[in-house]
A and B are shown apart, each in its own frame.
Chain A
Amino acid sequence: MSELAPASPALEQAGALVPKTVSLWQVFLQFLIIGATSFGGAVPYLRRALVVKLQWLDDKQFVEMLSISQSLPGLNATNMAILLGDKLRGPLGAFAAIVAICLPGGLYMFFAGVFYRIHGDHGWVTDALKGIAAASVGLILATVVQLAKRSLSDHFDLVFIGLTVLAINLLHLSVPVTLISVGLLAILWHHPRTAPAEGLGAPEELEK
């Protein structure tokens, strides 16, 4: 929360922000750097580089893009790359941004896969992997808690969370069936009349 709020220099000059001309190469390079250094979630790195350091866009624009990214299918990191790239340099910028942000991690995982194929059944690798997998479960649970805290609008939302888990883990319904049926219910529950004017808690995502 605090990371976004008043301390940001970019926010103070939001009104005075002049649209800069950014070359396609600069877009590619920045997203490549972020793709190579953003361990543990790309969004805070994107904001730090593009909003705070380079001032290619202001916080308001960034947060709006984040809220679009979160409500569409796709990963936040790649959706943000598309929206930011398009804003900075049009369709080619979007293409350069998503390729660049995926490239370093993609190469890393390619070689991790090759290594795993050769050494994956060695005792010490298996033990380390078990530890990694268990830690990942903790990490996902923490994400569940943080996401629930900032993105839910009322307590009744817990029912939709419960229904989703029930449908998938107990009734073994497929993800699309669950997504469409529970999603539709939840959207109808939040139909326009009941929705208060205040926005989603998107900015807090930045803190992650």
Chain B
Amino acid sequence: MTQIPDLIRVFSYLSLLTVGGGMAAFPEMKIQIVDIHRWLTFPQLIHFYSVGQMAPGPNMMMIIPVGDWAAGPLGAVVVVIAFFGPTALLTFAIGRLWKHLESWPWRQSIQRGLAPVSVGLLLAGCFTIAKGSIFGVATAAIAVGVLMILLQYKINPALLVLGGAVVGYLSL
């Protein structure tokens, strides 16, 4: 129960960092959840994120077990509202203003400028998660294998993550 205010603070803060996708917030998420509040260990956080890749819908629903572990089912609900609420309100407001912004010359500059930064944030999040999940040849081979297959063929990524589970089970 005592964790609720912290959960609200942390997840509404993380919410605003998800520029270009949930992964953008991952390095900060690791610091907040693992290092500062110790709700999870780093491997647990990575496991939740990864299992979340096999869930349907928005791909950051892994925050729910974080809230549940920290403060029970109420924590899970609080975390969802804190994480999706701020960006939902922002998107709602900007969505209504968008027509008026159309002629604003800086709009496209902002879109063009944020594009490389969000790719960079995604890559930085990837390196953070790789530090805790690539340990040797076998795990590196799985990662590279998934990368190659996805760049080469049109296949549902959730299936490949499931494939990773099978390979891990059989070989690790």
Pair from one complex:
yes
Give A38's nearest chain B residue, CB to CB: B56
Chain A residues in 8 Å Cβ range of B123: 144, 161, 164-165
A195-B163 contact, Cβ under 8 Å, with A102-B58, A133-B129, A186-B117 = no
User: Is the C-beta of A143 less than 8 angstroms from some C-beta in chain B?
Assistant: yes
Task: Give which listed residue, A38, A74, A132, A195, contacts B53 with CB less than 8 A.
Answer: A132
User: B78 interface residue, CB < 8 Å from A?
Assistant: no
- Complex Cα gap A108–B59 (Å): 12
Given A113-B48, A131-B171: 17 more A-B contacts, CB < 8 Å: A38-B57, A40-B159, A71-B111, A73-B18, A98-B84, A105-B58, A110-B65, A113-B64, A116-B48, A131-B164, A136-B50, A138-B145, A141-B143, A160-B120, A175-B28, A179-B19, A200-B111
Query: For the complex, would chain B's binding face be called helix, strand, loop or mixed by DSSP majority?
Result: helix
| Contact present for A132 and B57 (CB under 8 Å) | no
Take A101-B57, A128-B165 as given contacts and tell me if A182 and B146 are in contact as well, using a CB distance cutoff of 8 Å.
no
Would you call B90 and A183 a contact (CB within 8 A)? no
User: Shortest CB–CB separation between residue B13 and chain A, in angstroms?
Assistant: 8
Kindly list chain B residues whose C-beta atoms are within 8 Å of the C-beta of A39. Answer: 54-56, 156, 158-159
Nearest CB of chain A from residue B28's CB, rounded to whole Å? 4
Q: Does B7 contact A (CB under 8 A)?
A: no
* Interface pair A142/B64, CB less than 8 Å apart: no
> B98 to chain A: which residues have CB within 8 Å?
64, 68
Q: Assess whether B47 is in contact with A120, with CB atoms less than 8 Å apart.
A: yes
Contact with A along B131-172 (1 / 0, CB 8 A): 011110011101111110011001011111111111111011
Residue B124 lies at the interface, judged by CB distance under 8 Å to chain A: yes
* Given A73-B16, A83-B95, A138-B160, A153:B58 Cβ within 8 A: no
Q: When chains A and B are docked, how far (Å) is the Cα of A124 from the Cα of B170? A: 9
Known pairs A175-B17, A179-B19; A131 contacts B61 (CB<8 A): no
A68-B94, A131-B142, A138-B160 known; A110+B121 contact, CB < 8 A: no
Which residue of the partner chain, among A120, A131, A146, A179, contacts B117 with CB atoms under 8 Å? A179
User: Interface on B for A, CB 8 Å cutoff?
Assistant: 15-25, 27-28, 31, 44, 46-62, 64-66, 68-69, 73, 76, 80, 84, 87-88, 90-92, 94-96, 98, 105-106, 108-130, 132-135, 138-140, 142-147, 150-151, 154, 156-169, 171-172
Tell me whether A117 and B69 are in contact (CB under 8 A): yes
Q: What string of 1s and 0s marks CB contacts (under 8 Å) between A142-183 and chain B?
A: 111111100111000111111111011100001110110011
Contacts of B25 in A (CB 8 A): 175
Q: A91-B92, A113-B64, A128-B169 are in contact. Are A152 and B17 (CB under 8 A)?
A: no
Residues of B within 8 A of A101 (CB): 57-58
Interface check A70, CB cutoff 8 A: yes
Q: Does A75 contact B (CB under 8 A)?
A: yes
Cβ-closest 3 pairs across A and B? A131-B168, A113-B65, A164-B120
The reply to whether B55 and A72 contact each other, CB–CB distance below 8 Å, is no
Q: Is the beta-carbon distance between B164 and A135 smaller than 8 angstroms?
A: yes
Q: How far is the CA of A128 from the CA of B139 in the complex (A)?
A: 11
Identify which of B49, B69, B124 contacts A136 (C-beta below 8 A): B49
